[in-house]
Chains A and B, each alone.
Chain A
Amino acid sequence: MKIKVIVTLKNGVLDPQGKAIQQTLNGMNFGNVEDVRQGKYFEIEVKEKDEKKAKSLVDDMCKKLLANLVIEDYKIV
């Protein structure tokens, strides 16, 4: 079963890459772009048929490795 995870910076944590992308987009005449936050996306193939179990495993992975909870939030989608 494939589980998808999105890791993003927490609100309030400075995202200089997102800022640079936003400024570039503004410079390309996408003037209505007000903010960009960059994140990471994972597709994890888990050998598990029960979706609840698989998601709970991935949740543990997020806490232990995929996200650093000092600055990042994660969402299992």
Chain B
Amino acid sequence: MRSSVIIFPGSNCDRDMDVALKKFGFKNQMVWHNDQSIPKSDLIVLPGGFSYGDYLRCGSIASKSKIIKSVIDFANSGGLVLGICNGFQILTETGLLNGILQQNKFLNFICSNVFIKVKDKQNKYFKDLKKDILELHIAHNEGNYFCSDDELKSLEDNNQIAVTYCGEDGAENEATNPNGAIKNIAGIFNKNKNVLGMMPHPERMIDKYLSGEDGSLFFKNILDNFK
């Protein structure tokens, strides 16, 4: 499976993502934001970081960069596009995903492990995933997902809510919501479920000695579903 990771000025999880993808057998290439086209890929990843210093709004400047037209075309033709953290913010700013990531409710930068619940498995990311609850890492200041009531209803009706923050036992409530996101939303799909944006970082959970391996499950699952 071929993948491309887009690097924006200020991306800082691009190399972690590269390491993770290669570890599980993706043929990965790094692509600079100023390039016009993306090499043949089965998966495009927009990595975490602080593209363009988070100027104006997180992800807003990156969402207008040269490479983005190719990303949008690829997504609209059904290609898999994964946005992690700042990548999620960029995807909402392009309009590929609904809503926006606002500043965390308590104005704090959050860096911690969280549990997330997989809400939908009828898609190429989570189909046949053996676990329903994953332990992943979050590190963000703007992860407070927000959208209009109509958009939320549409997300729910089409099963576009991908993952939600929860407790180790799966409880979804205010106590297990780290940033104030509506409905504890940690990640969503587009209508066709080929575009996934989420705040948690699977690439930080790929080594049992360093962190955990729930990220490994995530990447292996994408590969298994591609075969």
- The residues of A with any CB-CB pair to B shorter than 8 Å are 13-14, 16-17, 20, 65-66, 68, 70-71
Contacts and interface: CB of A to CB of B under 8 A. Distances in A.
B106 interface: yes
B212 interface: no
Contact of A20 (B60, B107, B146, B147): B107
Interface in B146-171: 146-148, 151
B106 A71 contact: no
Contact of A16 (B56, B99, B107, B151): B107
Contacts, number: 31
B106 A16 contact: yes
B99 A70 contact: yes
A13 B56 contact: no
Interface of B: 56-57, 60, 64, 93, 99-100, 102-107, 146-148, 151, 180
Contacts of A13: 102, 146
Nearest to B64: A65
B180 A14 contact: yes
B100 A71 contact: yes
By secondary structure, the B interface counts as loop
B57 A68 contact: yes
Nearest to B104: A16
A66 B57 CA distance: 9
A16 B102 CA distance: 10
Contacts of A17: 103, 107
23 contacts: A13-B102, A13-B146, A14-B102, A14-B146, A16-B103, A16-B104, A16-B106, A16-B107, A17-B103, A17-B107, A20-B107, A65-B56, A65-B60, A68-B57, A68-B93, A68-B100, A70-B99, A70-B100, A70-B146, A70-B147, A70-B151, A71-B100, A71-B102
Contacts of A20: 107
Nearest to B103: A16
A13 B147 CA distance: 10
Given A14-B180, A71-B100, A66 B105 contact: no
B60 A68 contact: yes
Nearest to A13: B146
A23 to B, nearest CB: 11
Q: Which of A13, A16, A20 is most buried by chain B, counting CB atoms within 10 A of its CB?
A: A16
